[in-house]
Structure 1
Amino acid sequence: MRVMGVTLIVLGLAMLAPQVARAETLPPASDSGEVCTVGYQMYRPADCPANGPGSRAMHYWEMGLLPARPLPAAAPDPALAAPDFGFARVSKDSELHLYPSFVDAASDNRAVVKFPGFVFISYQDVVERDGERFYITGGSEIVRRDDAAPISVHRFQGLLFNATPLRSFGWIVESTYPRSAPGSKGAELRTWLPRYTVIQVYDTRQVDGLNWYMIGVDQWVDQRKVGLVEPSAAPPAEVPIGTRWITINLFEQTLAAYDNGRLVFATLVASGIPPWHTRPGTFQVFKKVDRQPMSGSFAADRSDYYYLQDVPWVLYFDRARALHGTYWHDGFGYKRSHGCVNMSIGDARWIYEWADLSTWVYVTDPSGRRPLTRRRMPTMPAAHEV
């Protein structure tokens, strides 16, 4: 069989220079019965048959897979993710006692008591007095060191963009092995994809009621393993052209920030769980607070009580609901809040510094679900959503 564009000398001799000029006078390979090399088919695809050995490579090249084209993105400054305080959790069965001084703490006097529940403190220092150790909280209260255990804060950050990507992208939210084909019948590959791996989507197939996404050459993952951003240069219907807006996708649990039609930032979030849904709609940022305590309880027996000191980088957009930094969990990509949109500390700070009062916030749920609000929300509640 003659190979167009290349003369091969057999019996161990070296390959001669390609005869590309000669190919100009030959009929297309699909008419002549010739087979193209991979390189030639990618150079002159019109001359080659659709089922030649280079057709698969050509298909991947057209999809942007060969060679893989990176997103037009960069990581944000890691310094944004550095918390201003340390944080500690109080045992769920224990009250939190906040004292105005070391003397009061030593004598158990004049304590402000918080109910047992989901309780966290911030602290700026740990000191020792008379053989006992104490936290000095972010608000300068005193807490016994034995009453709360320090926690580590995850420093996940999203991506900054210098151009709007041409395809959907996102993050792995559940560590997984991809499959060689869409559906459970595809062989499980040995390429381990840890949580927060950035992926791009090159093709989508629906199998057994699930969307499967092609994220690499013969690598497929199902929709439950990823949180996606689908870039859109057009603003939502109620958002004026030429402005900034934030899109929150409740189905994908992602956030995307746009400036005059260009994607500038994207990340994973954690929105409200039933019955404390994050409400779909179009809103505007109406208040910014760099840090504040949040607390509340909705059950009659206070079994769901929470108290969180120094919640950072808060942007209120829908009554009590806000975008804010989160130090008490690392569940980004999944619903788990009391109605607010939880972000990592670094991501929340970036959005806080980028957004202005009146920046638009578009909350959408492409699944079509529009949950009813469990109760009427006051404009600025005593008990904040988290």
Structure 2
Amino acid sequence: MNTDQMLRMSFGRQALIATVLALIWAVGATATFADDTVVDTCSVGVDCEDDDLGLSLEEIELHPSPAVQQIYADDSILFDRRYRRVTAATQFFDAPNGSPTDALDSGFNFVTLTNEEGGWARTSNGKWLPGDTLSTEVATSRFAGVRLTGDTLPYPVAWLLVHVRPSITPGGPDNSDVPVLLRYTTVYLYNSVRVDDWVWYQIGYQQWVKQTQVAVIKPIERPVDVDTERWVSVDLYEQVLIAYEQDTPVFATLVSSGMSEWPTNEGLFHVYVRYPRTIMAGAYGQPDFYYLQEVPWTMYFDDDIALHGAYWHDGFGYRRSHGCVNLSITDAKLLYDWSSTEFDYSVPEDVGPAVYVYSSGIYR
């Protein structure tokens, strides 16, 4: 099964959790939570059309959109390199029409180009590939996360994971009379209702979406063993990373962690080495072989598992990696710069920020 097939399967990610979390973030204060309960339960065709299940238009108009600060894509780092996928097994050469130096097996292979000449392409390792083995230019994701300003948030915040026309009632069909809401849109979750086996969230007046269509920002209390001022949590269930300063969440974004064959380990770790750009390769001689040049803003925290930017996909919010935690390039650079104060290069044993990986729910 290839990566794209696995991604399509992952779009069926489903949740057991049936919660609405009241997020109260005050400046300098720890996020606090409401009881983990679903407000209502209904059955399709019986009582899901009850107007009392959702907030009124007047209530929603008091807080029409999430009070978070959107980060915008940084074009200076999105387009400073030319990325290509290698589409077939090939060899590197020392010059155009020169001598072969290294074989490159077929796999999930991407390179960055520094020069093109006569049907040949020079890559960042200084070697050349035949141009007919390369794809057209790879379009990097323009997704970026949000800053959490410390202001009080009256409702939980989430990203839409798919383009969707919200349903008028929980469990109902898409409403074809309303505009499509785009993937990566941030929304408030005003209310929640369990319909049979699924939780539905109210994201507007008479606008409901299924739990599989959103990824929720869920700040957590600082684990007792976290020993750095700046640290991050990675929620494998929601596919959401949150950055904290002491007890205060300051930034959140979508990630892509390891697929079931190569899961990202849960636990408490520390960044132990980092690189602005690095080659990643693995699974030599295996069907899942990969070779990735110039992986950006990489921070290793669990052996060969890292937080890093991914220029080769736009599937954030779904599991699709070989174990690492993928971020958009904009988010990876932001996190790389933000966490730099946790390193003391004069102390050989010093470690970087703590990375707490956990799951707030169970996939099914």
Q: TM-score, normalised by structure 2?
A: 0.76
Deviation >6 Å, runs of 4+: 55-58
* Shift of residue 368, structure 1, vs aligned partner: 4.7
Partner of 1:33: none
> Is residue 2:97 matched to residue 1:111?
no
Shift of 1:288: 0.7
Structure-to-structure mapping, 1:372-383, within 5 angstroms: none
Number of aligned positions between the proteins: 300
Question: In structure 2, what residue type is equivalent to 1:307?
Answer: Y
Q: Hey, what's the Cα distance between the residues in 2 that align with 1:69 and 1:294? A: 39
Give how far 1:194 is off.
1.3
Query: How many Å separate the matches in 1 of 2:331 and 2:236?
Result: 17
Q: Cα RMSD over matched residues?
A: 2.5
The residue that corresponds to 1:272 in the other structure is 258
CA distance in 1, matches of 2:223, 2:176: 39
| Equivalent residue runs for 1:137-216 within 5 Å | 137-149=123-135, 150-163=137-150, 166=153, 167-184=155-172, 190-216=178-204
- In 2, Cα distance between equivalents of 1:230 and 1:189: 32
2:260 counterpart of 1:290: no
8 Å Cα contact 2:165/2:174 also seen in 1? no
Question: Where does residue 380 of structure 1 map in the other structure?
Answer: none
1:309 aligns with 2:293: yes
Match of 2:42 in 1: none
Measured at CA, do residues 164 and 236 of structure 1 come closer, stay the same or move farther in structure 2, by a change above 3 Å?
A: farther
Match of 1:34? none
Give 2:35's aligned residue.
none
The verdict on how the C-alpha distance between 1:189 and 1:281 changes in structure 2, with shifts beyond 3 A counting, is farther
Per the alignment, do residues 342 and 280 of structure 1 end up closer, same or farther by CA in structure 2, a change over 3 Å counting?
same
Corresponding residue number in structure 1 for 2:92 = 98
1:151 corresponds to which letter in structure 2? Answer: V
User: Aligned pair in 2 of structure 1 residues 295, 186: CA closer, same or farther (>3 Å)?
Assistant: closer
Amino acid at match of 2:259: I
Output one character per residue of 1:351-377: Cα deviation in whole Å (capped at 9) or x when no partner: 1111134211111111257xxxxxxxx
Choose from 301, 319, 323 the match for 1:339: 323
Query: Which of residues 351, 364, 371 is equivalent to 2:358?
Result: 364
- Counterparts of 2:309 and 2:209, CA distance in 1: 29
Q: Report the counterpart of residue 84 of structure 2 in structure 1.
A: 88
Over the matched positions of the two proteins, sequence identity in percent amounts to: 34
CA apart distance, 1:73: 1.4
- Report matched runs for 1:222-233 at 5 Å: 222-232=210-220
1:255 deviates by: 0.8
CA contact (8 A) 1:80 1:345 kept: no
After TM superposition, give the deviation of residue 260 of structure 1 in Å.
2.2
Gaps (5+ residues) in structure 2? 1-51, 344-351
TM-score (norm 1): 0.72
Instruction: Work out the CA distance in 1 between the residues paired with 2:77 and 2:249.
Output: 21
Note if contact 2:73-2:144 (Cα within 8 Å) is conserved in structure 1.
Answer: no
CA 1:205–1:140: 2 relative to 1, 3 Å: same
* Corresponding residue SS for 1:224: helix
Residue deviations 1:60-115, cap 9 Å, x none?
A: 555x5435254131324624652431111111xx2232222x3xx314x1321111
* Residue 188 of structure 1: how far off its partner (Å): 5.5
1:263-295 CA-partner distances (Å, limit 9, x unpaired): 221111100011211111111111111111111
Q: Mind listing any 5+ residue stretches in structure 1 that lack a counterpart?
A: 1-54, 370-386
> What SS does the aligned partner of 1:139 have?
coil
Counterparts of 2:121 and 2:173, CA distance in 1: 55
State how far apart, in whole Å, the 1-side matches of 2:183 and 2:205 are: 20
CA distance 1:169–1:120, shift in 2 (3 Å): same
Residue in structure 2 matched with residue 327 of structure 1 by the alignment:
311
Three-state SS of the structure 1 residue aligned to 2:215 is strand
